[in-house]
Amino acid sequence: MAKTLLEIAGLRKTYGTLEVLKGIDCQVHEGEVIAIIGSSGSGKTTLLRCINMLEDFQGGTISLDGEEIGYHVEGPTRRRKSEKDIARQRALTGMAFQQFNLFPHMTAAQNVMLGLVKVKRLPKDEAHAIAVKWLDRVGLGDRAGHYPGQLSGGQQQRVAIARAIAMNPRLMLFDEVTSALDPELVGEVLQVIKGLAADGMTMLLVTHEMRFAFEVASRVIFMNQGVICEDGNPREMFVAPKTERLAEFLKTSSFN
């Protein structure tokens, strides 16, 4: 069995009185590609955002490579780590967003280089070489000097993935990365993700693309109302769901 990379235990997240995550327990092993599915409001995006501290959480622990993310926990007391510590930890995970969130005032190459130069403190020429290498990998080597406004949605998302992956993260998080794309642009982005999966990158993907989840994921997590409702390999889950909830969800989703 591969080594455990990410360990989530008793994760709870509330917004005021609304409990969004009600105790998540989950282990992710190196090289796993996990699709997180579930209806909207089930907490899947929030789970992803807690893993790199884009959201604070109120209970439980998340550890990456044995290091607790975001909080020092000693017995009953928990204390948020310093911003500097959290920034360093965030660099260990890469994230791609539904809305791409490229920096519009920087070229594709500058977008990819920013973290390399400012966080990893690489010299500019070295960072540029890495940026070009990854832009090549996502099929955009010839677009390095283009600004986001000059790229299509699919191209922007591929640059955003290159920006995250160039940081050489331990874990990649994909938050509905194809949801904002025109249907004909979805394929090129999924192709890039498939390539990364083949490289052995550990990935968590929140997705509505059931067919893609079925094809690429080594494991599927079905979330419902803030808890993990079902967790298993895609063939079993999609073909013979154990819970009523999942059966219902699959019926209403696009997968058939």
Q: Could you tell me how many residues of this chain bind other proteins (CB under 8 A)? A: 30
Least distance (Å) between residue 90 CB and other proteins: 5
Least distance (Å) between residue 127 CB and other proteins: 12
Least distance (Å) between residue 69 CB and other proteins: 13
Least distance (Å) between residue 243 CB and other proteins: 33
Q: Measured on CA atoms in the order 256, 45, 206, 31, is the torsion positive or negative? A: negative
CA-to-CA distance for 157 and 137, rounded, in angstroms?
13
CA-to-CA distance for 18 and 169, rounded, in angstroms?
32
Q: Within positions 83 to 102, which residues make up the interface with other proteins, using CB under 8 A?
A: 83-84, 87-88, 90-91, 93-95, 97, 99, 101-102
Beta carbons within 8 Å of 63's beta carbon, 6+ residues apart = 6, 7, 69
Q: Within positions 157 to 176, which residues make up the interface with other proteins, using CB under 8 A?
A: 160, 163-164, 167
Q: Within positions 175 to 204, which residues make up the interface with other proteins, using CB under 8 A?
A: none
Among 15, 80, 119, 124, interactor with other proteins by CB under 8 A: 119
Among the residue ranges 28-36, 46-54, 69-77, 244-252, the one whose residues contact other proteins (CB under 8 A): 46-54
What residue has token string 């282990």? 27
Contact assessment for residue 44 and residue 223, using Cβ atoms and an 8 Å cutoff: yes
Contact assessment for residue 48 and residue 204, using Cβ atoms and an 8 Å cutoff: yes
Q: Which stretch of DSSP H or E encloses residue 43?
A: none
Q: Is 122 in the site for other proteins (CB under 8 A)?
A: no
Q: Is 115 in the site for other proteins (CB under 8 A)?
A: yes
Q: Is 80 in the site for other proteins (CB under 8 A)?
A: no
Q: Which residue, 81 or 211, has its beta carbon nearer to other proteins?
A: 81
Q: How far is CA 216 from CA 196, 199, 210, in A?
A: 10, 12, 10
- Residue 145's CB is within 10 A of a number of other CB atoms, namely 10
Among 54, 73, 122, 129, interactor with other proteins by CB under 8 A: 54
Q: Which stretch of DSSP H or E encloses residue 199?
A: none
Q: Is 103 in the site for other proteins (CB under 8 A)?
A: yes
Least distance (Å) between residue 245 CB and other proteins: 30
Contact assessment for residue 231 and residue 222, using Cβ atoms and an 8 Å cutoff: yes
CA-to-CA distance for 133 and 36, rounded, in angstroms?
29
Residues in the chain: 256
Among 149, 184, 252, 254, interactor with other proteins by CB under 8 A: 149
Contacts with other proteins by CB under 8 A lie at 52-54, 83-84, 87-88, 90-91, 93-95, 97, 99, 101-105, 114-115, 118-119, 147, 149-150, 160, 163-164, 167
